[in-house]
Amino acid sequence: MTPLWQQSAVSLARAVRNGELRAAEVATAFLARIAALDGTLHAFLGVDAERVLAEASALDQRADRSTLGPFAGVPIAWKDNLVRCGERATAGSRMLENFVAPYTATTLARLEQAGATLLGRTNLDEFGMGSTTENSAFGPTHNPWGESLVPGGSSGGSAAAVAADLCSLAVGSDTGGSIRQPAALCGIAGLKPTYGRTSRYGLIAYASSLDCVGACARYVEDLALWLDVCGGNDPNDATSRSDTPAGDAPTLAALQQRRDLRTLRIGMPWQLNGPGLEDEVAASMQSAVEVLRGLGAQVHECSLPAVSYAVPTYYLLAMAEASSNLARYDGVRYGLQRPGGGRIEAMIAASRSAGFGAEVKLRVLLGTFALSHGYQDQYYGQALRARELLRAEFAQAFEQFDLLLCPTSPAPAFPLGSHRDDPLAMYLCDALTVPASLAGLPALSQPCGATADGRPIGMQWMAPAQRDDLVLQAAHAFERHTSHHLRRARP
């Protein structure tokens, strides 16, 4: 029999609803696995086992099991920049080390309503700023494929937890690749929905015009179910799209309708499929293309010239928005407070100096400079214009192609500490993921190969806005005809 922790969220929920499994039984199995493995991985920042078991047992007490939700009893983790009432929410920062949330993020509330068992909070780069999960104030997360390797970031804790089968699905946030890149480095699937498709209410803000709540899982069908449950309009979020009403659930059903890729036209922008890729990444992509063609897809090269500006555009916009969003952490209203000798300016400076880590300070300083008088149009304004140019080029590409495809990361997982003193090399880790973020498009990473020493390699699907169903269908068809997603680092 397949162990519980190797089963999909869809199959676990079905078994709980049918009475074949009890939610408490599932929770106990996953809690035991966390206790055995997370001491070395450090994927979690907090797991309240007593609360988890109490909530799972309460679900089991329901008299009518047919009314249990679509995620009944499924163990799900969440990135520690999403708030849950009564739980700490640190965003990986000393600034919020002792903050206890007074309300619950919409995404987590919808999972609770769907019957999910919320396991605990996962590690992240501080405030989501990083690509390796080394910038957490509470220590780095290790990749399940090698304890000396980074898991990617900033949702590295969520990706590592799924890859090590410590949970069936993990919620995260994706600003410039923070779900997709760690999913690729850990050998699982990760979805960034269309901007506004999922609510940001309860997400601790980094860059508000880019932040998306997404999820990672081993199986694409689990991501489709998550989107059906958590997607849709939310009146608490002004950026939530009104054309995707909550409760509409077509995505999971649509997966079963497409068993191959006939009629689909797939474009491969050469700017994202050649320059800077490691040889094994390029070779895995070529093998994946052969599979796609075998499934009936038409695959052709195309061009997106403006992606050459994507990395500087993204970092200018993200840093500028971060400097604005993080201005609220002043030691007055909430967060860490340090004395200032009776002077308010000194107290604010002392609190922010002690509360923020080096990477956050760097980005806040650069963002503040980009918004400063005399430079705002030269930097921030120019970045906004470059973003519109990229959006226009994506729109033109989608007149010819249904989907775009490229690697998720130019390189597989690399050693911890190897990029720590080279910010530019770190920022270039996001070169292939930030274009979809800037354009607000749905994008999904899934495993497509491995290096000679076993490190996972991922590829990324991109579709027009609101065609999240299309990236899920294409990824599911590829998954059905390959076995990359079944490779596991831990027994």
Q: Please give the positions annotated as active site.
A: 79, 154, 178
The dihedral sign for the CA sequence 152, 401, 214, 71: negative
User: Rounded to an integer, what distance in angstroms lies between the CA atom of residue 173 and that of residue 106?
Assistant: 13
Q: Count of residues for the chain?
A: 491
| Cβ-based neighbour number of residue 328 at 10 Å | 11
